[in-house]
Amino acid sequence: MAFKNDLILRAARGEKVERVPVWLMRQAGRILPEYRAIRERLSGFRELVMTPELAAEVTIQPVDILGVDAAIIFSDILVVPEAMGLPYEMVESRGPIFPKTIENDKDIAALLGAEAAHELEYVYEAIRVTKKSLDGRVPLIGFAGAPWTIFAYMIEGQGSKTFSKAKRFLYTEPEKSKQILNKITDATIAYLKGQVAAGADMLQIFDSWASILSPEQYHEFSSVYIERICDELNHMVPLTVFAKGAFSARVPFSKMKCDVIGLDWTMDAVESRKIIGPGKTLQGNLDPCALYQNKNGIELEVKKMLDSFGAQRYIANLGHGLYPDTDRFMVKAFVDAVKEYKV
């Protein structure tokens, strides 16, 4: 397919770009009144995720309203554990809750692996509808959680500052942990391939809870599974790995078959480039709180960020998802400032 704007794909592949591509994690969501208008008509977040036409509509909103260089399919990383057999509820102002978690061997045996991907037809359909509506304006990003992050929710049963229940399981049941992680990895590979088959032009793996593991544990219980995903996908479309807070993971990621490495704002651009080398595109990394400033402040931050990352082998983004109380005009100021930067 010919894109009207394929900047992000070229940047991801390391091809020369005439300006820096930009999008934002959580660009579709509460910051847009157009999103809130749709969301308010529905029973909840899950209805939106599971209704392809509506998911497609909110996916495209930031392309129209903010002028970003990519859409990312509106969904949630927790659709995978649900498809594997552990449904979740999204509780307002509290986050996800799993009424059932993994307690014993029978629970592990009951989890679906690669077959779970068949349960996610509604996501593939949302991708197909979005692709049709986008009509080549910008590429569409698909995504999944990293196996460790999904595991953490499946064992913990909810969000947590420390995920100490999930980590207790790693320490006390390392072999069972690996069984579960392998099943999640199988499901994730099949799911990401399904997203590509449906039309996703690029993929991102989110390891949201990377920061709470030691480097050694991260290797043993996260990196190796991400690596298997990278190997299996084998550059079929550009692939981004984003492990929030895992500063030590930059070294192993630099050796994987991924194309882009996402960084948060605690990771310095120049230092990260040195650690990662020239072979990967970097993505990130503005602090979402920087968008609480006025337009002038945001423009200064963007300039500083682009000066330090450089315009090639780089995709501008935040270092975390947009916070819901961000002024949408300041989000637009961020996007515009990247677009106006002279390469």
Tell which one of 21, 147, 157, 245 touches a second copy (CB under 8 A). Answer: 245
Contact set for a second copy, span 256-275 (CB under 8 A):
265-266, 268
The yes or no reply on residue 293 touching a second copy (CB under 8 A) is yes
The least CB distance from residue 170 to a second copy, in Å, is 8
Tell me the DSSP string of 266-311.
TS-HHHHHHHH-TTSEEEEEE-GGGGGS-HHHHHHHHHHHHHHH-S
The yes or no reply on residue 289 touching a second copy (CB under 8 A) is yes
The yes or no reply on residue 290 touching a second copy (CB under 8 A) is yes
The yes or no reply on residue 135 touching a second copy (CB under 8 A) is no
In Å, what is the CA distance from 79 to each residue of 2, 154, 321?
A: 30, 12, 18
Phi, psi of 293, rounded to the nearest 5 degrees = -75, 175
Instruction: Tell me how far apart the alpha carbons of residues 62 and 8 are, in angstroms, rounded to a whole number.
Output: 16
The yes or no reply on residue 172 touching a second copy (CB under 8 A) is yes
The least CB distance from residue 303 to a second copy, in Å, is 14
The least CB distance from residue 247 to a second copy, in Å, is 5
Between 25 and 56, whose beta carbon lies closer to a second copy?
Answer: 25
How many CB atoms are located within 10 Å of the residue 176 CB? 16
How many residues would you count in the chain? 343
The yes or no reply on residue 45 touching a second copy (CB under 8 A) is no
The yes or no reply on residue 252 touching a second copy (CB under 8 A) is no
Phi, psi of 284, rounded to the nearest 5 degrees = 140, -155
Tell which one of 26, 167, 193, 228 touches a second copy (CB under 8 A). Answer: 167
Q: Judge contact between 258 and 230, C-beta under 8 A.
A: yes
User: Which residues are known to be catalytic?
Assistant: 26, 30, 39, 76, 153
Instruction: Tell me how far apart the alpha carbons of residues 342 and 329 are, in angstroms, rounded to a whole number.
Output: 22
Stretch that binds a second copy, among 60-68, 200-208, 224-232, 282-290 (CB under 8 A): 282-290
Nearest alpha-carbon partner for 332 in 282, 284, 294: 294
- The contact set with a second copy (CB under 8 A) reads 161-162, 164, 167-168, 170-172, 211, 213-215, 217, 245, 247-248, 265-266, 268, 287-290, 292-294, 297, 323, 325
